[in-house]
Structure 1
Amino acid sequence: MSSESSTAAGSGSAEAAPSEKPVMVVAIDESEHSYYALRWTLQHFFTNAQHVPPHFSLVLVHAKPSAASAIGFGGPGGAEILTFVESDLKKIAARVVEKAKQICIAGSVNDVVVEVVDGDARVVLCDTVEKHQASMLVLGSHGYGTIKRAVLGSVSDYCAHHAHCTVMIVKKPKTQN
């Protein structure tokens, strides 16, 4: 498993360092549910009119699937396909990180650690919680139905049962027509 880290601005670091503030990890992916969860979290935990520093240190993490898991199986020409898929996955990760950074900047949150980690999202998120000794993990809810969730598996359900911290699942309200 490999990881890349960066900070939007400020003094965030990628290593789990002793800090007086508890750490909040927010999972990010290319879904609008993920971005909604990030905006909601910033609004409720990191942005205030009294200019009081936030109670948490913020870590954003994007789990980048492996190219092999993204295509599912190998076959003739598989090696060439893997190269293209890996390139696309890196571009997606870069877009996810850039959009998340822009959301943070728009919310006047500049002290944030951003990580891209290769691997299954369930394992990556639980490992990130451990690495940073996080006290809270925030995930967006994709709102899958029972059957789709049973077939695909639920990252939030897995994390709720396996992460060693409080897990908050932020559900985007249904729009009114």
Structure 2
Amino acid sequence: MSKSQTIGIGMDYSPTSKQAVQWTVDHLVRSGDTVILIHVVSGKGDHGDQKVLWGDTGSPLIPLYEFMEMNLQVRYGINPDREILSILDTASKAKQIKVLAKVYWGDPREKLCEAVENLKIDSLVLGNRGLGTLKRTLLGSVSNYVVSNITCPVTIVRAIPDSKRKIK
């Protein structure tokens, strides 16, 4: 039996994040693994006491069942996609994995790298927004930065247009 692993998924609830979750569930996780959804709330907006309390270290690890029940928009400033949470809930039961969430505030590039170190993540999965070369150069790319600065394997899940996606 192989050692269990901790897999991080960078989460912003975009369509590519959903594809990254589905890819992780289908191809990477095994029984006994832990999956940590890493949310980074960037920049503007006041997210109340939680940001003040946990701003430097990120929120405590939140079990999926609690995460699904919380009013996350008010508490942490994020608006989760129920379909993504459902995919993870089903996988946690079927594959017997632990799913946790953690919220950080700041620059996604830096906070994802911090999360890998602090949470002892063995592998990180990110969705790719599919920016063109010019936009990526002007705006920067979270995935490019993370791949260049992180200490664990990183999988970038590219956006798949709806017309090319397999229907399950």
Normalising by the residue count of structure 2, what TM-score does the alignment of the two structures yield?
0.70
- Please report how far the alpha carbon of residue 65 of structure 1 lies from its aligned counterpart in structure 2 after TM superposition: 0.9
Counterpart-to-counterpart distance in 2, 1:33 and 1:113: 20
Native 8 Å contact 1:62 1:117 kept in 2: yes
Tell me, which stretches of 5 or more residues in structure 2 are unaligned?
49-71
Rounded Cα–Cα distance in structure 2 between residues aligned with 1:149 and 1:127: 22
Q: Percent identity?
A: 29
1:29 to 2:12 alignment? yes
Deviations 1:78-134 (A, max 9, x none): xxxx55xx47xx628442275543220133456111011111110111001001221
3-state secondary structure, aligned to 2:113? helix
Alignment counterpart, residue 110 of structure 2, candidates 123, 136, 160: 123
* Secondary structure of the structure 1 residue equivalent to 2:89: helix
Distance 2:24 2:121 in 1: 15
Higher Rg of the two aligned structures: 1
Measured after TM superposition, the shift of residue 152 of structure 1 is 1.0
How many pairs were matched up?
135
Tell me which amino acid in the other structure corresponds to 1:60.
L
C-alpha distance in structure 2 between counterparts of 1:155 and 1:39, whole Å: 20
Matched, 1:102 2:86: yes
Of 12, 34, 39 in structure 2, the residue corresponding to residue 57 of structure 1 is 34
Cα pair 1:28 1:96 within 8 Å, conserved: no
CA RMSD of aligned residues (A): 2.6
Q: Is the 8 A contact 2:8 2:116 kept in 1?
A: yes
What does 1:119-158 correspond to in 2, within 5 Å?
A: 119-158=106-145
Unaligned runs of 5+ in 1: 1-19, 47-51, 68-81
The match for 2:149 among 147, 162, 173 is 162
Residue identity matched to 1:153: G
